[in-house]
Amino acid sequence: MTGFDYVKTRREDVRPIPEKQVPLVRFILKWATRAQVAGFRASKGRIMNTFPGGYPVCVVTTLGAKSRKPRRIALIHLPLGDDKLLVASQGGMPGNPAWYYNIKANPEVEIMVDGEEHSYTARQVSASEKAELWPHLCSLYPDFDEYQARTDRDIPVFRCSR
């Protein structure tokens, strides 16, 4: 069981990421993301604009929590009206992705979609808001349910408003 009533996937139905493989998975994600961000930004979103499965991508620019240098990450584009949602799932790995800490320290972000970049302020949603948003998130990317089932951590969700 996951401990989250809104998660439909059962833990026992999810293949865990073996602890020994977590560093390799993080390494691959890091380099794949760098390549995708470079292609996406250079083409203003015309190429490298989807993840496997055809899910649309956005590029989020944060400021490093310590360095204050710009950091970019490709994430699944999750619109909600004029707002954008960001899910720090990292495939259901045990820890939060680095960008989570950047946004917690510096909630002002830039999000590029379809070649246009806009400024947003991110805030982490409450547990009840996450439960309300969960069906919408899973309608846009069904694997989020599996990711939450895979991990004991409460995967953070941010709502970004202009």
The span from the CA of 84 to the CA of 91, in Å, is 19
Residue 3 is assigned to a structural domain of this protein: no
Look at residue 66 and tell me if it is in a domain: yes
Note whether residue 4 is domain-resident: no
**Tens of pLDDT along 81-135?**
999 999 999 999 889 999 999 999 999 999 999 889 999 999 999 999 999 999 9
Q: How many domains does the chain have?
A: 1
Q: What local confidence, expressed as pLDDT, does residue 141 receive?
A: 97
What domain range includes position 57? 11-161
SS3 call for 28: helix
CATH code for position 39? 2.30.110.10
In a domain, 2, yes or no: no
In a domain, 112, yes or no: yes
The pLDDT of 24-35, averaged and rounded, is: 88
In a domain, 67, yes or no: yes
How far apart (Å, rounded) are the C-alpha atoms in residues 112 and 57? Answer: 9
